[in-house]
Structure 1
């Protein structure tokens, strides 16, 4: 993989459903002769015969949140979603010399580490269909965090962007400040970030609220099979800040109140490139699915590998060949919104998008400057089979990013355009919870600056929250007015426990009269309605005793400019 910037299945069964708990690091292989080098391999099983799992009992291998996401979008649980046969797993593990790392429900496969002699024994098992060498042994240890760049020169900010700091331009370009003013900051949405490392996220003040508000839900280092993600590389830190940075007056991301699951899928230690990183992407996507993630933000891409792993050609960018592309397509089909950077090859010999950006049904993001012009480095479409790519674009030239030290600087890359749109999509989906992931993509495309004349440079152009919202809600449009500052609508405690009341803090203090609050469940059905008068502090108390556990959306009125906030009832 290359992280797209210019400057600056657990062993034995299915992947864990919720938290990514630390697991022991597999033992290092003993020194061996070159011909018996331990490498990792993806072995495919012939079927799922003998599995104790059933599509009629999906709660045995998918979380309640994952099932709600499917139900909301009318997506059936299919045999593809079943874990691999435990009997097959046990027989593979019984082969002397095999270390089993992960299993894959979607590919009906397993990742193992062994030498070539042992691999031949595994391939001789009657239920093993084929194997593909991923050409890397066990991973090296984590690299030391890279030194942070020098603090940038302070910039003057005007009052209308004081809450956002240097992030204002990238936020304003897609209408996210108006999204925030309307009360949509990603509350209740789960975003998975796939990257190479998140150095400094646990110490930088811009991420502090993510910890204090319990919005960092899990961490999973797929490379090392552990929970340790706050090292190895700073690229994930840069991208996470663009979405979830939350330090008003200094830096605000596009979805500063979303919840996050962080994954290391890219192994930058050692400086080599092999398809094992694409399989890491698959493993992370299946975990995200089982945990109930709504959006995947991936600023990663794959074209060229080190020998003897074969590289991809442009002809392979057809939506059905690359491992990561196939994984991204399934992730989209189970109802997650996959947002992936297009790549930075626009002005070199490759020129085109990289995998998994060629997948269908995902949002591939190109880079533009602050004036909406395509960045010269931004990878172009179409896919090899002629589909338009990228889908949309955002600011990826001189984007404001968070460094591990907590300083703010600027960088270029489709890596940075991708999280801008992942955050925008989170707020837009929060505002329109009855939409499917594919409808979210379609409406954002229709709101783009090139909606009537899309091309393979910027796709449908740069989307806008207000235009997209009004397309989705023609009867109750938002006013297309200048921003008045960052909204303060939020719900607490969130999640709310059994028998606990839920409190809404209104963004502008108490209103002039009675408010009507409607509560919708994950399917979009109206389940409760309350008329309340805000307290002098602008706080509204809601009773939740009559609600079953699940995800709910409050719509707050009266008036055409409704506001919304999501909450979880435990």
Structure 2
């Protein structure tokens, strides 16, 4: 199978009018009018989707459409002839991100198959190779020896687990085995195979890809991703065990440490498409977007409709293909903004607020509703004094934020997916909401409340033949 096909992503839509057509040097999103000349066909999906992806789509009745087809090689060749540097490809959006100067931008706008050319960021990275480094995302599952489900063996991870009755799922043998989880963040340093997550050999370290710099590894950059990952994947008996230690993880670096621009949302969407292509089941993204380095790109509250942000729209497309996307609601609850960010506004995003240990809303947890009146967050989980492995891989840290509440839920979503493999993603989300602590009276502070994953499992099983 051609792994180059896994370097593409997005949705058929255009960006909002934050970026006017311009001719300055920068990163541009170039969208195409059609896929005329593509060498692929919906009748041969195995040529551009993995077996895992096809099985997941079949289980959800998701058809393979023209949106899924790789881009036209003729279009790509003509874009390259302008002198622009190809950065990202997107089959869902039918377009590319390129690095281009003024004269190249003018030439791109002249191409008869080009729909729009939009500035999305300044040029901040260079790449030695003409094309991105192709990632190897086919790494083995971790070899985890199950331990008794108790506070003694789970160590400091016990409280992370028990508040949502995740210990019941683990006791019943559901710890995420066979489930593929993607994590989007700003980097994953110190994810080594002995001291951090407990992998016994280097081959078990999660597969990873850096979409931002387009180089060979995401195991660098911000320490945020490493801390987030540990709450799910850590497996140190007697010290710290995460909420889904037997799941298989794929790590994507989507956040740019040099500035905030709309290109990060495109990175996010590209990661979602890539995750779909390799058959990911559950995604955690402890990320959110409201303001950027360029004020012209900032969102207004009226933009939080689930239809404006590229990342929010990409979540809708990924969900239609059977994926579960868990994301943090945001930490703006005590700020003048106060509301959730994008892509938590997506109707299909399972957006997570933060709770104190007593179940009350953490003061920083962002509020709903969305601009079109939908309740957000969906549910809320522990987000204050959350135990996690320290970013240097040595010892523990205590962290706060919806960034920590989200992976706790995502890990248990992976366990629930393992437990009820024939359930659709919509059934799973509905069951978690229906059995949460304030399911009878959801609000825009805590959503449907704190999940009870044992009750969600029983509800799902009660509906099985």
1:51-66 alignment, distance < 5 Å: 51-66=38-53
Q: Which residue of 2 aligns with 1:104?
A: 90
The alignment status of 1:266 with 2:252, answered yes or no, reads no
**Does the 8 Å CA contact 1:447/1:467 hold for their aligned counterparts?**
yes
Say whether 1:122 aligns with 2:108: yes
Shift of residue 137 of structure 1? 0.2
SS in 2 for 1:193: strand
8 A contact 1:196–1:264 mirrored in 2: yes
- How many residues matched? 429
Identify unmatched segments of 5+ residues in structure 2. Answer: 9-21, 128-148
Deviation at 1:120, TM superposition (A): 1.5
Relative to the length of structure 1, the TM-score reads: 0.72
The match for 1:220 among 205, 209, 220 is 209
1:76 has 2:66 as partner: no
Q: What is the correspondence of 1:127-526 to structure 2 with a 5 Å cutoff?
A: 127-139=113-125, 160-202=150-192, 205-209=195-199, 211=201, 215-268=204-257, 270=258, 272-307=259-294, 309-403=296-390, 404-474=392-462
Judge conservation of contact 1:206–1:251 (CA < 8 Å) in 2.
Answer: no
Secondary structure, counterpart of 2:177 in structure 1: coil
Please give the root-mean-square deviation of Cα atoms over the aligned residues, in Å.
Answer: 2.1
Tell me the SS of whatever aligns to 2:199.
Answer: helix
Give the distance between the partners of 1:218 and 1:209, measured in 2 at CA: 13
Contact 2:328 2:352 in 1 (8 A): yes
Change (3 A) 1:110 1:310: same
CA distance, structure 2, for counterparts of residue 88 and residue 67 of structure 1: 27
Per-residue deviation at 1:16?
4.5
Residues 112 and 365 of structure 1: is their aligned pair in 2 closer, same or farther, counting only changes over 3 Å? same
Q: 1:59 to 1:208 in 2, by over 3 A?
A: same
Name the stretch that deviates more: 52-61 or 159-168. Answer: 159-168
Residues 114-163 of structure 1, C-alpha deviations (whole Å, 9 max, x = no match): 1122111101100000021112203279xxxxxxxxxxxxxxxxx94122
Cα pair 1:275 1:309 within 8 Å, conserved = no
Residues 194, 201 of structure 2: 8 Å contact kept: no
- Give distance in 1, aligned partners of 2:165 and 2:374: 27
| Structure 1: gaps (5+ residues) | 1-9, 18-34, 142-158, 477-523, 525-570
CA shift at 1:168, angstroms?
1.5
1-structure distance, mates of 2:388, 2:459:
31
Q: Which ranges of 4 or more aligned residues in structure 1 deviate by more than 6 Å?
A: none
Q: How far apart, CA to CA, are the structure 2 residues paired with 1:210 and 1:295?
A: 24
Paired residue secondary structure (2:215): coil
